[in-house]
Structure 1
């Protein structure tokens, strides 16, 4: 593949990040929630897609929501002047001055953070926006309902610009407790009379609970064209596009006799004479080692009529390679292009065959894989 992403590439593997797909997905979210402002959630280096690609593709968002203050610094260094939200607030009191200098909004979810903010004297000349987090049933971060109003009044009295926030535990499921309805009821009863903008909806709520959005929504996984439920069929009609495509090539073809085995442990046994394709991609690239036989791989122009074809994994994924069954791909050859996930093979489908979710796969793309931003 030659030179790409400022690397000298000698393995035919490449992750392509489509910033136009980012723009499309952001516009789709605006269509679903036209009255809400959008925090584009880009924690974990934009879910493995990279901050540079996120800035290029999502610059029309109303703000970026992230975890690490170093990432906030990166955005300011790269001329982003919009709002930045620290989703877990401050981890250490010493970060507060830096967060203020970077003009970050901050989530407040515990007593220690509250005390740091109460004792801080703001000499920055600009207001500090806080998103006070209510634990409405997720039981992860946030103030319990009986603690929340006192926390709000203390921070409001200290001069901060207040916002109300909570997080849904089961917006992607209908039969789990706490339900979205129960959490919304808890949220609304707790903040009654405390006038401030609100932030509730994650990706699943934006897709399936548009009566529970808030003034600020926080789309994460849907920005990347991946399903909140882990099942691609659930978003197949959502008009979202995958942003990341992981591609490689067939680097070897083996001719097997009936009964021959493939790979470590000999997991796959040839049921007949057949061909096996060896692909330059393995778990050291971020492909899941636990992918079972049958996990789909798209092969370009390898079908009987030189059409594109999907071939199943056959044998254990190893560090640098995986192997596929070429019985439906008579025209596959060394150099045939393959897609591991992207527009042809949803990452959610690969994840389901590997006992995980699409979130994990895109976040786990290995640093050794060259990335092209287009």
Structure 2
């Protein structure tokens, strides 16, 4: 019998979440972000599930684009970080990719290149995130140089990234947005601004294109959920089983370092999952799990291949009982990956993208 830990991927839920992004921004097109192997869900199966409803995909780097092209994905693919060296422009050309340009050296490399056909270019503006992008005062000159180079560049867009679109306090978002609107007005430029939180909650940011990412996988990126984010459906269920049960008296330490001690006579279940699978070792005692469709909690430190949970109040739980570490249990009960992430002092992105290759992915749904 195989080890029971699997990552079950619901491609119908992925399509539902993508359609929700489109519903939130009916006058925009949505590029589906598949970077980091679709946030750990598998870029190729996710792309295939979204083909026909998503007009374009986005990845971080050319290696991720190559994987999609070699799998037969022929939709447009945007490189969110552009190229990392000038030699990659030949692949951009050969693979028919769209390219972000965020710095002077990328601009000069592109203008010196002689592609078979002009490359769609998205010019990144640093509107206040202070990560990648041209300063707003430099963008007009960059835009003009690209417009004067039709052999190299076409279909120009402005893009940027919001630092605080997920927060209730909108002051900094509004400052970023004002800079971008003024720049777009001067240039007559189409915009691609909205990430997942802005797609869900900032209609002012909806441009010609939006870039939903983590919301596609069912994680709520908002500081305070709204009516739309509550409709997100979990795509990944990290599912395992109880492989051993221990009956312990009160006062017994459990796991490395004895961090958790039984407060009463207790039943402890051992689960086939650990940090060697990507489950976060920082999970504290009390981190929620579902056992046999009922909520309980981690008791003791996460080990490499196992973790322990308190079964005392779930008498029906035994060997082979279903354990859901996040996602949807067989009885329909849902444990949000966002809730688990809070107990690990992290965010859902790290949990989802951190599920390691030794955890088999099992896919279902995804057909029109």
Alignment of 1:105-184 (within 5 A): 105-122=98-115, 124=116, 126-159=117-150, 160-161=153-154, 162-175=156-169, 179-184=172-177
Greater Cα offset, 235-244 or 56-65: 235-244
Contact 1:276–1:323 at 8 Å: present in 2 too? yes
CA distance in 1, matches of 2:278, 2:362: 16
In the TM superposition, what are the counterparts of 1:186-205 in structure 2 within 5 Å? Answer: 186-205=179-198
Aligned to 1:24: 16
Asked whether the equivalents of residues 107 and 130 of structure 1 are also in contact (C-alpha less than 8 Å), the reply is yes
Q: How does 1:63-102 map to 2 (within 5 A)?
A: 63-102=56-95
Q: Equivalents in 1 of 2:134, 2:99: separation in Å?
A: 15
Query: For residues 193 and 260 of structure 2, what CA distance do their matches in structure 1 show?
Result: 47
Change (3 A) 1:236 1:26: closer
Deviations 1:80-103 (A, max 9, x none): 222110000010000001101111
State the shift of 1:237 in Å: 5.2
CA contact (8 A) 2:220 2:232 kept: no
1:294 aligns with 2:286: yes
Counterpart-to-counterpart distance in 1, 2:324 and 2:135? 46
Hey, what's the Cα distance between the residues in 2 that align with 1:121 and 1:354? 49
1:239 to 228, 231, 236: 231
Q: Which runs of 5+ in 2 are unaligned?
A: 329-333
Cα pair 1:227 1:234 within 8 Å, conserved? no
The C-alpha deviation readout for 1:308-355, integer Å capped at 9, x for no partner, is 311111111111111111121011111101100012211111110011
Q: How far apart in 1 are the matches of 2:178 and 2:39?
A: 31
Q: Judging changes above 3 Å, is the alpha-carbon distance between structure 1 residues 354 and 234 closer, same or farther for their aligned structure 2 residues?
A: farther
Could you say what secondary structure the match of 1:278 adopts?
strand
Q: Which consecutive residues of structure 1, in runs of 5 or more, have no partner in the other structure?
A: 3-9, 301-307
| Contact map agreement 1:230 1:348 (CA 8 A) in 2 | no
Q: Secondary structure at the match of 2:290?
A: strand
Superposed CA RMSD in Å reads 1.5
TM-score by length of 2: 0.93
Could you say which residue in structure 2 is the equivalent of 1:310?
Answer: 295
| Alpha-carbon distance in structure 2 between the residues aligned to 1:74 and 1:292 | 37
Find the aligned partners of 1:82 and 1:237 in 2 and give their Cα distance: 27
Count matched residues.
355
Number of the residue aligned with 1:33 = 25
